Structure 1
Amino acid sequence: MSNKGIHSKLVTLFSLLLTLLFVYTAVSKMIHLDSFEFRLERMPYIAPYASLLSWAVPFLELIIAGLLWFRRYQIIAFYASFILLGLFTTYITIVLKYSHSIPCSCGGVISALGWKDHILLNITFMVLAFLGMLWSKKQYNVQTH
């Protein structure tokens, strides 16, 4: 099997894994929207934007999850995944460094993770998104030439 075939299958796998992550976290946040907003209100630096973020984040996660399955928008969705996960990971890292404690605004199984595990999970998904960007771009370039 050529690298192109392997990369194509991996891009599909990465799309699936990112979709599962984003749909799971978005649905969990929307089911417990009041609790999610309350936790955001208690987080340093973003408390004034809690109401907006409580709707915008799950909405954005669902949009990205959907875009991952449209070939035309897949590279953009991988970039958006990478950026969203990067912003959240950077935020967690900064707050952990400069605050004494922060509440987890995650839902379900992910809320059971410690912060270091959470950062590791995010970085793992960022690597998947980055590889998805690279390999999607290669596939797109091969298909257009």
Structure 2
Amino acid sequence: MQRGSIKARDAVLLICYFLFTSMFIYAAVSKLMNYQIFIIQMDRQPFPDSYTPILVWSVLASEILAAVMMMTLSLRRIGLFFATAMMICFTAYIILVKLHYYGVIPCSCGGVIASFTWTQHLIFNLFFVTIGIVGIYLEQQFRKKKA
């Protein structure tokens, strides 16, 4: 019986890692393929324009780093924490946008995600925050059993 639960946990964790990795690779590649549009969208964010180059490369590097970490066995757990923290930050930003804290803000996401409404973005992000929390919980349970 214990083996079945371990296999189920492993399967759920692999799904968590796969979904996060796929989403971050897709987002980064979409932004890189439409790099000039991404820069213009970042210029329209509620931050000083002088921050745009830093924000552009920070977002891209963070997305790629999170994906690579989750594809690397020794860094997978840290990558899951990092990816979940990023999604929490992005979700907080979306909540502020939805509350009109910044006024009207264009989306700077890539690909199909860029066509989402802010409400759809919020649901999408909350889905990934939930995946991250579930993955972290399962990782913690595994470590407790292992100790």
Query: Is 2:32 the partner of 1:30?
Result: yes
CA contact (8 A) 1:75 1:137 kept: no
The CA distance in 1 between the partners of 2:92 and 2:84, in whole Å, is 12
Aligned residues: percent identity?
A: 27
Query: Which of 93, 104, 111 is the equivalent residue of 1:108?
Result: 111
Q: Which residue of 1 aligns with 2:66?
A: 64
Instruction: Give the deviation of 1:96 after TM superposition.
Output: 2.9
Q: Per-residue displacement from partner, 1:82-135 (whole Å, max 9, x unpaired)?
A: 111111111121133223311111111111111001011001011101111111
120, 123, 131: which one aligns with 1:120: 123
How many aligned residue pairs are there?
A: 144
Q: Normalization by structure 2: what TM-score?
A: 0.89
Distance, in Å, in 2 between the alignment partners of 1:36 and 1:24 is 14
Tell me, which stretches of 5 or more residues in structure 1 are unaligned? Answer: none
User: Counterpart in 2 of 1:132?
Assistant: 135
Write out per-residue CA displacement over residues 56-77 of structure 1, whole angstroms, 9 at most, x where no aligned residue: 2111111111111223222211
Listed as ranges, the gaps of 5+ residues in structure 2 are none
Between stretches 27-36 and 94-103, larger displacement belongs to 94-103
Under a length normalisation based on structure 1, what TM-score does the superposition of the two structures give? 0.90
Alignment RMSD (CA, Å): 1.6
Structure 2 Cα separation of the partners of residues 65 and 106 of structure 1: 16
SS of equivalent residue, structure 2 residue 45: coil
Q: What one-letter code is carried by the residue in structure 2 that aligns with 1:44?
A: P
Shift of 1:9: 0.5
Query: Which stretch of the first structure deviates more once superposed, 47-56 or 107-116?
Result: 47-56
